[in-house]
């Protein structure tokens, strides 16, 4: 009986994606985490045989069901080794990974939440945005800033660009700043140490902070810069793309923003003269306008390539409908846009429920703003946030009950914009879509 298993060729993409989903930017990072040789992980990821126990361990780590991805031609091993060495207590594998449109039957459709996997056929590209990002990221010391309200696809785009970078054999790091503890983001030194450790970890490098961190000689920024310049970047010695998602999480913390964002800008500038720094490519994503005041020359928000994610246009919605084998006529798409505009998440959710076949487009749209609607969780989540701020609630009520754009104070404008509830028209705002107008004018 064979004691080894390999990933079937049709699941190699699934494995690649699972690395990302589980925050392993490279095979090296996974090997380090599991205490395995890089060559073993590399064999696994490229569909070569590895020991059965190791196969199960790697699958566990990647939250993959080992039997689903093992090469079934190795059927003796599969049938006889029905009892995995370890049972995973991780949640069920998400159904997010689908690879061909024939698999888009309603029972296989992933629920449209969270990051869209970069190789998913349901990833909808927008105008030239993906190609602009891909063309930028291959340039030395590039900097991409993705700005859009929540649920517009920032994280999905960032992961897509990181996947492209990986395909160029670059190393990639993805950090979601929303997940950083408050105790860390309030202290510059702790925050920069955290950054160094997390980047090093994702690059599969040993933590050598103790050898580089010397506050008596350099300040925190200097130490962090030296760690990248003298250790991380030269050791990796190929382009490294650092994706920082939700950077607006830092905006309220005045004690760190000036130094931190100033440092990112200086790294970007160093790339103009230093080959080491040319290997660092940055992607920043944020949903709030950059309301913090930073010196123009020391802010990364005044440099690099800005990308503003807009709503899906008619062609993009039509394409998504076709992908889902929904035979929509132009007037059906118009009806959808009338209520939801081209909001990526709202559109995807509508399509998801329509594909289940339990509701018609007309009834879905007529009931969209009611408590029983498919959007009720999403709407209530936003309502809860707004109700915690009575003055914001009052202002938003004004916005949804007026037929004219309303001018609010800048902070309220940013808050509502970053939640995706309003659209900006110069300094004034209007509801982002009629769904929000209908619902919030009723409940506020």
Ligand X SMILES: Nc1ncnc2c1ncn2[C@@H]1O[C@H](COP(=O)(O)OP(=O)(O)O)[C@@H](O)[C@H]1O
Site string for Mg ion, 119-158 (x = CB under 5 A): ------------------------------------x---
Beta-carbon contacts of 50 under 8 Å, excluding residues fewer than 6 positions away, are 4, 5, 6, 40, 43, 44, 58
Q: Using CB distances below 5 to 8 A depending on partner kind, what does residue 123 bind out of ligand X, Mg ion, none?
A: ligand X
Site string for Mg ion, 153-172 (x = CB under 5 A): --x-----------------
Nearest distance from C-beta of residue 328 to ligand X, angstroms: 16
Nearest distance from C-beta of residue 104 to Mg ion, angstroms: 24
395 touches Mg ion by CB under 5 A: no
88 touches Mg ion by CB under 5 A: no
Q: Which long-range contacts (CB under 8 A, 24 or more apart) does 55-59 make?
A: 55/4, 55/5, 55/6, 56/84, 56/85, 56/86, 57/85, 57/86, 58/30, 58/34, 59/88
Tokens of 8: 């079937």
Total residues at the site for Mg ion (CB under 5 A)? 1
Binders in 134-163 for ligand X, by CB under 6 A = 148, 150-156
User: b/e string for 53-75 if b means 16 or more Cβ within 10 A?
Assistant: ebbbbbbbbbebebeebbbeebe
Q: Are 316 and 124 in contact (CB under 8 A)?
A: yes
344 touches ligand X by CB under 6 A: yes
Report which residue's Cβ sits closest to Mg ion. Answer: 155
Q: Are 142 and 136 in contact (CB under 8 A)?
A: yes
Q: In this structure, how many other beta carbons lie within 10 angstroms of the beta carbon of residue 421? A: 23
**Helix ranges restricted to H, 152-292:** 154-167, 182-185, 188-202, 209-212, 220-226, 233-236, 254-270, 275-278
124 touches ligand X by CB under 6 A: yes
202 touches Mg ion by CB under 5 A: no
Beta-carbon contacts of 56 under 8 Å, excluding residues fewer than 6 positions away, are 66, 84, 85, 86
Q: Using CB distances below 5 to 8 A depending on partner kind, what does residue 234 bind out of ligand X, Mg ion, none?
A: none
Nearest distance from C-beta of residue 287 to ligand X, angstroms: 7
Choose one: 97-105, 322-330, 343-351, 432-440; the region binding ligand X (CB under 6 A). 343-351
Nearest distance from C-beta of residue 155 to Mg ion, angstroms: 3
Nearest distance from C-beta of residue 433 to ligand X, angstroms: 14
- Residues that bind ligand X in the complex, under the rule CB under 6 A: 112-116, 122-124, 148, 150-156, 344-345, 348
- Residues that bind Mg ion in the complex, under the rule CB under 5 A: 155
């Amino acid at each position: 009986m064979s004691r080894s298993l390999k990933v079937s060729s049709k699941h190699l993409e699934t494995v690649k994606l699972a690395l990302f989903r589980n925050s392993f930017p490279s095979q090296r990072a996974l090997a380090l985490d599991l205490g395995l040789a890089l060559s073993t992980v590399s064999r696994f990821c490229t569909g070569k045989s590895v020991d059965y126990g190791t196969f199960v361990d790697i699958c566990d780590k990647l939250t993959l069901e080992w039997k689903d991805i093992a090469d079934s031609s190795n059927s003796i091993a599969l049938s006889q080794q029905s009892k995995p060495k370890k049972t995973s207590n991780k949640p069920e594998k998400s159904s997010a990974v689908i690879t061909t449109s024939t698999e888009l039957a309603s029972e296989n459709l992933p629920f449209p939440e969270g990051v869209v996997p970069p190789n998913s056929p349901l990833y909808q590209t927008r105008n030239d945005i993906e190609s602009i990002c891909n063309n930028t990221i291959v340039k030395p010391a590039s900097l991409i800033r993705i700005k859009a309200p929540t649920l517009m696809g920032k994280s999905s785009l960032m992961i897509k660009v990181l996947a492209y970078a990986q395909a160029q054999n670059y190393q990639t790091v993805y950090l979601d700043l929303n997940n950083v503890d408050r105790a860390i983001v309030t202290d510059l030194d702790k925050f920069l140490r955290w950054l160094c450790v997390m980047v090093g970890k994702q690059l599969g490098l040993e933590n050598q902070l103790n050898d580089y961190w010397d506050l008596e000689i350099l300040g925190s920024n200097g130490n962090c810069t030296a760690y990248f310049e003298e250790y991380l970047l030269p050791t990796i010695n190929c382009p490294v793309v650092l994706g920082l998602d939700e950077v607006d999480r830092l905006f309220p913390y005045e004690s760190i923003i000036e130094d931190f964002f100033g440092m990112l800008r200086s790294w970007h500038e160093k790339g103009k003269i230093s080959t080491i720094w040319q290997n660092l490519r940055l992607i920043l994503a944020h949903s709030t306008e950059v309301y913090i005041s930073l010196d123009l020359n020391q802010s990364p928000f005044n440099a690099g390539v800005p990308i503003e994610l807009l709503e899906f246009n008619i062609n993009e919605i039509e394409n998504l409908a076709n992908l889902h084998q929904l035979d929509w006529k132009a007037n059906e798409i118009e009806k959808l846009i009338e209520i939801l505009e081209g909001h990526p998440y709202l559109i995807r959710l509508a399509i998801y429920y329509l594909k289940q076949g339990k509701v018609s487009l007309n009834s879905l749209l007529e009931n969209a703003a009611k408590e029983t609607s498919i959007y009720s969780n999403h709407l209530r989540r936003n309502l809860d946030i707004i109700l915690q701020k009575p003055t914001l609630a009052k202002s938003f009520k004004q916005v949804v009950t007026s037929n004219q754009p309303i001018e609010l104070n800048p902070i309220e404008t940013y808050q509502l914009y970053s939640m995706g509830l309003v659209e900006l028209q110069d300094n004034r705002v209007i509801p982002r879509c009629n769904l929000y107008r209908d619902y919030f004018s009723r409940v506020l």
